[in-house]
Amino acid sequence: MSSGRALVEELTALAEEAKSILGRADSFEHLEELRVLFLGRKGRLAQIMAKLPGLTPEEKRDAGQAANSVKESLTAQYTLRLEALKRAQDEAMLAGFDPSLPGRAPSLGGLHPLTIVSEEITSAFQSMGFEIVSGPEIETDFYNFEALNFPPEHPARDMQDTLYIGDNVLLRTHTSPLQVRTLLSRKPPVAAIAPGKVYRRDSDLTHSPMFHQIEGILVDKGVTMADLRGTLTFFVHRIFGPDTLVRFRPSFFPFTEPSAEVDISCVMCEGKGHVDGQTCRVCKSTGWVEILGCGMVDPNVLKAVDIDPEVHSGFAFGMGVERVTMLKYGVGDLRLFFENDVRFLGQFA
Binding site for ligand PHE (CB under 6 A): 174, 176, 215, 253, 256, 293-295, 316-318
Q: How far is the CB of 272 from ligand PHE (least distance, A)?
A: 28
Q: How far is the CB of 318 from ligand PHE (least distance, A)?
A: 3
Looking at the Cβ atoms of 162 and 265, the one nearer to ligand PHE is 162
Per DSSP, the three-state class of 256 is: strand
How many angstroms separate the CA atoms of 181 and 30, rounded? 85
- Whether the Cβ atoms of residue 319 and residue 292 lie closer than 8 Å to each other: yes
Looking at the Cβ atoms of 140 and 256, the one nearer to ligand PHE is 256
Q: How far is the CB of 186 from ligand PHE (least distance, A)?
A: 17
Q: How far is the CB of 215 from ligand PHE (least distance, A)?
A: 6
How many angstroms separate the CA atoms of 144 and 162, rounded? 10
Q: How far is the CB of 340 from ligand PHE (least distance, A)?
A: 25
How many angstroms separate the CA atoms of 271 and 252, rounded? 25
Tell me which residue has its CB nearest to ligand PHE: 318
Looking at the Cβ atoms of 252 and 348, the one nearer to ligand PHE is 252
Looking at the Cβ atoms of 135 and 295, the one nearer to ligand PHE is 295
Q: Could you give the count of Cα atoms lying within 13 Å of 177 in the half-sphere of its Cβ?
A: 23
Q: How far is the CB of 183 from ligand PHE (least distance, A)?
A: 13
In the chain, the N- to C-terminal Cα span, in Å, equals: 87
Looking at the Cβ atoms of 179 and 265, the one nearer to ligand PHE is 179
Looking at the Cβ atoms of 35 and 174, the one nearer to ligand PHE is 174
Strand partners, 131: 192
- Count Cβ neighbours within 10 Å for each residue of 67-78 and write b for 16 or more, e otherwise: beebbeebeebb
Ranges of H-type helices in the chain: 4-22, 28-39, 44-49, 57-95, 113-126, 141-144, 177-185, 225-240, 299-304, 321-329, 336-339, 342-345
How many angstroms separate the CA atoms of 170 and 302, rounded? 23
